[in-house]
Amino acid sequence: MRSFHFLSQTDSPSGTPTPADGTGSQHRCDRCRQRGIEDRCFYHPAPLTKPRNEHPDETPNEARTGESRPLKRKRPSTQRQKLPNTGRDGAFPPKTPDEDVLADAVAADTYSPGYLGPGSYALLLPQDDGSESRQQREASVTSDIPEHELTHQYTLKKAMRREVVTSILSVFRHYAAIQELVLWYNASNEAGVVPAQIQVDAINSIAPFVEKHNLRRVAPSPQLVDQIMENSRKPLCVTKITNPQDLHKACSGDNLRLEMIGFLLATAGRSLAFGFSTDTFAGPENRGLRARFVDELLSASTQCITITSLIATVNDVTVWMYYENYLFTTMVCGYSGPPSWRRINELATQIYALGMHKESASTSLPTWLTETRRRVFCSSYNQDKSISTFLGRPIRISKRHTDVPLPLDLRDEELTSSDPSVLESAIASLDSNGWNTKSQHLRASWIRLRHIASRLREEILDYSLTPLTSSVSDALLDISSRIHSSWSSIPPHMQYFPNCWKDSTYSPTVCLMLVIIHLTHWYNEFMIRKLLSSSTPLTSNTAMLRVSIDLLSNVLALGAIRDRTYDIHRDLLNCILLFGVPSASVLATALKQQVKQGGVPFPAGISRAEIIRMLSVLIAHLDAATHLENSGARAGEANYNLCRKASRIFTRVIDQVLDPVQNEITPSNSEGLDDMGLDLGRLGGIESEMGLDFFGVPGGLEGFGFEGGGLEGLLGVGVGVGTGGAGLGEEGAGLDGGVVDWGGLGQWTL
């Protein structure tokens, strides 16, 4: 125990100061020295004073004080008032004068509320004067003048944001490949949304920037990373840009922004995933580089979304980035992948925040921007209906909350011309419904057709979970009538016909788009007939069987395309999964019901042999897709399991139909079908086995409407119909060596 003594006038302190204890000079008194306990002697220089306790939670015995008697504990409230602002446990040091403001505070612009619609708080607040109209207040971007910064910090620290942006900019070591991919996409793509010239100008203007900072050879510098983040943090007002050819100057080059980077990288990734291969990825020795580069592009584009959501305000380029990233995500992760659902939700959020859904609230916009917004919104609307139908989830964008009309049927060159008279003349030449009068197949044409089908799709979805009453049946039949009438109102040159492949005036790319539009539109009829089919046996449901045959035969027509300048594998597989498998499910179930009913014939015009042939071709395509590099259905890819499962189920159905005695279902011989959970009497048996709701498989996905400067057929690579096909041509299993014109077989006359 340490001995405490208070030095009297007769005691003479000795020793030297020892500041290690932190209590001042420490001396040894003569009394302790004489007693031999000087090592326990403690000299108190001011015995009548009490030192301040720097650790209020410690007891007097725990604190290193040195009082001769315990201190009285002070009241907590009194003691806290005397403490510096260091936190209860002293973990937070006192702020220096330079730290009066949070070091990484969120800029107020980032939390700008964006579009404020009817019923918002901004309209309910009293106005200072009546000079501002209601419409202007609805379209206001903010309700108050923002402060410089908020009182909280970013969720990702500045060092983390810098690290992410450094990773994004590192992708430009492949700038040459990225540029080539983007340019090819815009030169060859039939289903693009943003005018091609805007992307071309943006990617080309980045070239001097990449060379200036030597991004192809060295990592981006911290100064460059900070510059990009600062560019992205500044609000971008696209509405003030009257000439679309000036847009790239505001968000690329030295003004490069993360949203433009994410937009371009997603486009390049889609181009690569669709089959376009630059010299970088040519040759068998580089076989694995393509997949690695696709992953890197998707990662970088998604990282752009992450950072811009933290530091930037929404603008038109932001919406473009979210749209392209969504399409890219669905290609890599599949429509059922959680990332795809998150992206479509984020896309809808950005559209609403920008006010793109409320065109009447956007005043004084340049014509090019108005038309571009219409294209982007209608395409996003179409995508929302597709994935919501596929997953059986609520839609995020409803036509009841929008007033956006169809985009005008204009060429991209007319829309982005620097001469206003060119655009004015083009608009004046359109017909009363906004269609071009020159029988041209334009990017805007496909968007218009898909949007017409998607608006009908939304009405059908409203009844998908409603009990089938007489009123619901009447409503569905009314929609069916409008499906037919809307198709009749489409210009003739936009309607698919089976012999278009032989018409020299139609390029293979246009024929492919016509097929996709046809499938998209009439899949709505398929959905209606399935909703109405509960009261009619499938084997006698003529309307259901005919629309199913029509869909499947037109899907299989894509397998006979002979143009090899474009890789059609992914387009074909998407059509198979989205239209072919649902319709084949109905036809396979009809065959099984026919076997169960003792061979009752189908209605007139429905060929049992034709159905079996088409199912056989479909099985061949599904099997081949799991081995093709660019199909998106190889092992480990998004659609692999679905293709394998669908092929296995349809194969068992064909085996049972062709050899019913050997495959007869009995208590002792039912393993082949019982483990699939198939119910011969139930229409949804095959659907349940594949874990899908084929009522909900979407149609009209811009994501697979990708057309290049031609189409590479599947003949000779294991999946085509005809010579060299997947066991279906001269080397095949039973069909003749000629090309089967599936488009002409069982065509549903509408």
- What letter would DSSP give residue 668? T
| Burial category of 538 from C-beta neighbours within 10 Å (exposed 0-12, middle 13-18, buried 19 and up) | buried
Rounded CA Rg of the chain: 36
85-118 pLDDT tens trace: 555 555 656 655 544 445 565 565 655 666 665 5
Question: pLDDT digit string (tens) for 540-583?
Answer: 999 999 999 999 999 998 877 766 555 677 788 888 888 999 99
Tokens matching residue 203 = 């990617």
Residue 22: is it exposed, middle or buried by C-beta count within 10 angstroms (0-12/13-18/19+)? exposed
Residue-wise DSSP of 146-185: PPSEEEEE-SS-HHHHHHHHHHHHHGGGGHHHHHHHHHHH
379 pLDDT exceeds 80?
A: yes
* Identity of the residue numbered 399: K
SS3 at position 106: strand
Q: Is the pLDDT of residue 604 over 50?
A: yes
Q: What whole-number distance in Å separates Cα of residue 687 and Cα of residue 95?
A: 64
Residue whose token pair is 């220096």: 96
Query: What's the length of the chain?
Result: 750
Give CA–CA dist 457/385, Å, rounded: 7
Output the pLDDT for position 64: 45
Q: How far is residue 561 from each of residues 273, 436, 720, 740, measured CA to CA in Å? A: 20, 28, 8, 11
What per-residue confidence (pLDDT) applies to 745? 33
Highest mean pLDDT among 469-478, 661-670, 714-723: 469-478
Using pLDDT thresholds of 50, 70 and 90, give the confidence band for residue 62.
very low
**Distance of alpha carbon 80 from alpha carbon 446, whole angstroms:** 70
The predicted-structure confidence for 664-710, as pLDDT tens digits, reads as follows 544 434 344 344 333 333 344 555 555 555 444 333 333 333 333 33
- The whole-number pLDDT of residue 691 equals 52
Q: Is the pTM of this model over 0.85?
A: no
More confident residue, 398 or 503: 398
- Which of these, 522, 665, 524, 657, lies nearest to 589 by C-alpha position? 657
pLDDT at residue 613 above 90?
Answer: yes
Residue 58 backbone class (left: φ over 0; alpha: ψ -120 to 50; beta: rest): beta
| Highest mean pLDDT out of 35-39, 77-81, 355-359, 521-525 | 521-525
Digit-coded pLDDT (tens) for 313-349 = 999 999 999 999 999 999 998 888 899 999 999 999 9
Which residue from 550, 268, 244, 276 is spatially nearest to 375, judged by alpha carbons? 244
Nearest to 220 by CA among 173, 254, 268, 262: 173
CA distance 110 to 149: 9
